[in-house]
Amino acid sequence: MKVNLDLHIHSSFSPDSRVTPGEIIRLAKQRGLDGVAIADHNTVQGGLAALEINADPDFIVIPGAEYSTEYGHVVGLFLSEEIDVQGRKPKGYTLSPTLPLGEVVQAIHAQGGIAVLAHPFQSRLSLPAHVFEGPVKVDAIEGFNSRAGTRTNPDANAHAAQCAKEYDIPALGGSDAHLPWEIGRAYTRIDLRGVSKEDVCLRECHSLVRAAILEGRVEYFGRETQRAVVPLTEIVKARKRKTYCRMPYLVLKLILASLGPVGLWLENALGEQGNAKKPKTKAE
């Protein structure tokens, strides 16, 4: 049996999303998905809430969280509590944005979780080899993230797919949805080899899904999202944080992002784009 899961969704427990865990489950089922992973910024509370709410034995909810590290965002999947890094348990958006990658990966592994490097080339052009093959390395990367190409590197997904091949690590797909209509825009098809729907209660088969991901029995599918979702998400964040003074600037960004190539040209002219980080050598 194969199941389709969107493995990267933000809920209202993130500072930049208003979609409740219950709404995520409802929309994902409506769009034909077999499950979701909820990965809020620096907290597992949204994922745990969704796990609690899910009453459908045929639907999988994986609690996770997305942490900011020195080498970009890392999604921890199959978490059961907040990770403990440097003696601090993050809650909400309070943890330092540049945690050491190794410590985050170790803290995820300590719970039996899987560490996934999210949108690895969204705003950089290379990563050092130890991220993928060192003593403490990520278990998988996102080969496709619907939002990855909306920032500074439009080829971010192609680059990630190539990287997964080069290091022979599982490549997953996730929408990185912050807004309701983004849910399911990308997903991972996971092969639960030798298992049929009659044999298992999907809601309780986390260990099968985890093993399939680690063994690379995965394929990803997806569509890129519109660039306008980025300023829209920033507007959601400004409303939640009541930083209304940013609104005129964000509305301008939204208008530019909606103008297609003309807007991109204007953003470039204003210095907003085209500043992807310079390539680093493998030794760095």
Residues making contact with Zn ion (CB under 5 A): 66, 73, 118, 176
- The full DSSP string for 173-200 is EE--B-SGGGTTSEEEEEE-TT--TTT-
Identity of the residue, 205 or 233, whose beta carbon is nearer to Zn ion in the bound complex: 233
Q: How far is the CB of 41 from Zn ion (least distance, A)?
A: 7
| Burial status of residue 204 (CB atoms within 10 A of its CB: 0-12, 13-18, 19 or more) | exposed
Instruction: Give 3-state DSSP helix, strand, coil % of the chain, rounded to 5.
Output: 35, 20, 45
- Least distance to Zn ion from the beta carbon of 164, Å? 17
| CB nearer Zn ion, residue 147 or residue 253 | 147
Q: Which two tokens stand for residue 102?
A: 């190794």
Instruction: State the nearest-atom distance from the C-beta of 40 to Zn ion, in Å.
Output: 8
Tell me how far, at minimum, the Cβ of 22 lies from Zn ion, in Å: 20
In 3D space, the residue among 220, 273, 206, 221 whose CA is nearest the CA of residue 59 turns out to be: 206
Residue placing its CB nearer to Zn ion in the complex, 175 or 205: 175
CB of 223 to Zn ion, least distance (A): 17
| Minimal distance, residue 174 CB to Zn ion, in Å | 8
Measured in whole angstroms, how far is the alpha carbon of residue 167 from the centre of its chain?
20
* Residue whose C-alpha is closest to residue 37's, from 65, 72, 13, 58: 65
Q: Residue 118 or 256: which CB sits closer to Zn ion?
A: 118
At a CB cut-off of 8 Å and minimum separation 6, what does 164 contact? 141, 143, 170, 171
Closest chain position to Zn ion (CB) = 73
Pick 73 or 206: Cβ nearer Zn ion: 73
C-beta closer to Zn ion: residue 66 or 205: 66
